Chains A and B, each alone.
Chain A
């Protein structure tokens, strides 16, 4: 069982690497959809660890994605000369740069997750939901007010002058100063995206199926009983929250270095809801279900492009109908209770 999961992980890494070699021949439109599928799987699976397995309903996942995304594109633009001089501009140098940027984005999100999680995870249910929503909104408003990362106009890159003074400008006046404009580099590709998809699946799967990981489920089922059996429920909740935030940060980094432009509105309440819908549709605490839901909900809007005004209505109805008919999710399983 354990040897099998390790083997599976390693072989999937090889597969991802091989597919990446042929990625150039994939139609650009499909390629984009595939990358977004990957990013959404990371987001949904990481939120599933918090909402699904640990039972702590967070409504602010987009906030952590924003932290990772913004911090990383700021790093890879402001420090572009440094990275280029130190690691070079070859495939290998870019890989090292991206690993640094990814870890920085993930770690920053995790730290903010810790900061948010420690106080707010004392709360339960709807209070926790609304507090995490509040934190995400605060993060967004703060970004909106930060000129160094483009404030409400969004961020594409920076001008770095020869005398070392850095000034973020909008891309419109690129023409005359293009020689010193550092745009967000397009680091994200199939390999990096699905490397992290594989990592998070392996991570959550192994964690949840270990003895230690069963602690998360016990917290979800009954906190008082879990505490009485020696589970430090706060520690479990916070660690789920922090690792969920880490991977949301990673997803933000991947998104930023693929889209090459970030706007605070990309990370509003609706983005958080979208991730929550994936988790709920898939079935809270069902790994496969959530992955399928992430894939479906990434593809669905593509089909609905002509009727995009219906998209949110469909999401809303999905939520309501799911809750009324199958609260355990499309792919979740219901626990039958024997009559006493």
Chain B
């Protein structure tokens, strides 16, 4: 039983990170209808910018304020990177075929990975201890304080996003554009601003995910974004792409299934299981758990 609780906590803290990344996929997909393959690399850049910002600020002992500053700064950095990528690579392709955009996104993703290897070095780096981990026992399960930090911060960020999307003007614009881009632009919404803002939101959440991930798994490398990126995408599909609560639900489910696979089945299948879930969901209910069905107009 205690092991079970332990796995659940592990699963939730991993799933919360997938959920944060998945929200970015879902937002971009909702508006531009393409998989921003490079989103996983923003997650990686979040971790690396945290690493370098900490070094730049001479950060050397664990403190909550320090951790918050680093989190904010790297979220800002990645928001800028995200918007730049959008402007340079995706914006010129607004009217191109979906395939063209997808291929470009794969290109951007590879470019960031391998430029990362060149700039940061291919060897893993050790992420600074932003917060000292304190282990404590609940019902016999070993739980790290940082796992709780991850879960709590994710909840705070998700609520923040919810407030922005549901209560602000730009949030309403995002919802309008993802409902119907043409109609929204005819109503006078500046589509380019909305898209940029979407990238700001998505990228800063991915950066936060990168930092939170590195707090728990402090070894970071330029290819670290590939698998979490793909799994978060799968989470978004599982929840119903374009659907915010769906992305969170999907992230948690993927995180839990993954830790249970590792814990009870075999660690070697941890990466295959997410793809198996993707294939099953696409075949059984391609609209995802919370998605709506759309009919193609002829």
Contacts and interface: CB of A to CB of B under 8 A. Distances in A.
B275 A138 contact: yes
Given A127-B286, A327-B100, A141 B272 contact: yes
B283 A125 contact: no
B103 A138 contact: no
B118 A323 contact: no
Contact of B279 (A131, A142, A144): A131
Contact of A134 (B93, B113, B275): B275
Contacts of B103: 276, 280, 319, 323
A129 B34 CA distance: 12
Contact of A145 (B226, B269, B296): B269
Nearest to A284: B99
A315 interface: yes
B269 A126 contact: no
Given A127-B286, A137-B272, A324-B89, A119 B279 contact: yes
A126 B98 contact: yes
B275 A137 contact: yes
Interface in B5-37: 34-35
Given A125-B98, A313-B118, A319-B107, A144 B268 contact: yes
A123 B282 contact: yes
Interface string B261-285: 0000010110110011011001100
Interface string B93-105: 1001111111110
A20 interface: no
Contacts, number: 112
B208 to A, nearest CB: 24
B106 A126 contact: no
A316 B272 contact: no
B110 A319 contact: yes
Contacts of B279: 119-120, 131, 134-135, 138
What is the predominant secondary structure among interface residues of chain B facing chain A?
A: helix
Contacts of B104: 319-320, 323-324
Contacts of A313: 110-111, 114-115, 118
Interface in B51-93: 89, 92-93
Interface residues of B, number: 45
B108 interface: yes
B110 A273 contact: yes
Contacts of B113: 312
A129 B101 CA distance: 13
Contacts of A327: 96-97, 100
A137 B114 contact: no
B108 A316 contact: yes
Contacts of B97: 327
Interface string A280-312: 100000000000000000000000000001101
What is the predominant secondary structure among interface residues of chain A facing chain B?
A: helix
A134 B117 CA distance: 24
B118 to A, nearest CB: 6
Interface string A240-274: 00000000000000000000000000000100010
Contacts of B109: 316
B298 interface: yes
A57 interface: yes
A238 to B, nearest CB: 15
Given A131-B278, A131-B279, A126 B35 contact: yes
Given A130-B233, A138-B272, A144-B268, 16 more contacts: A125-B98, A126-B98, A126-B102, A127-B282, A131-B282, A134-B234, A137-B272, A138-B279, A145-B266, A224-B298, A269-B226, A309-B114, A312-B110, A316-B109, A316-B114, A317-B111
Interface of B: 34-35, 89, 92-93, 96-104, 106-111, 113-115, 117-118, 122, 226, 230, 233-234, 237, 266, 268-269, 271-272, 275-276, 278-279, 282-283, 286, 296, 298
25 contacts: A119-B283, A122-B283, A125-B99, A125-B102, A127-B282, A129-B35, A130-B278, A131-B278, A134-B276, A134-B278, A141-B268, A145-B266, A145-B268, A224-B296, A269-B226, A273-B110, A309-B118, A312-B114, A313-B115, A316-B108, A317-B111, A320-B89, A320-B104, A323-B100, A323-B104
Q: Which 5 A-B pairs have the closest CB atoms?
A: A319-B107, A134-B275, A316-B111, A316-B110, A141-B272
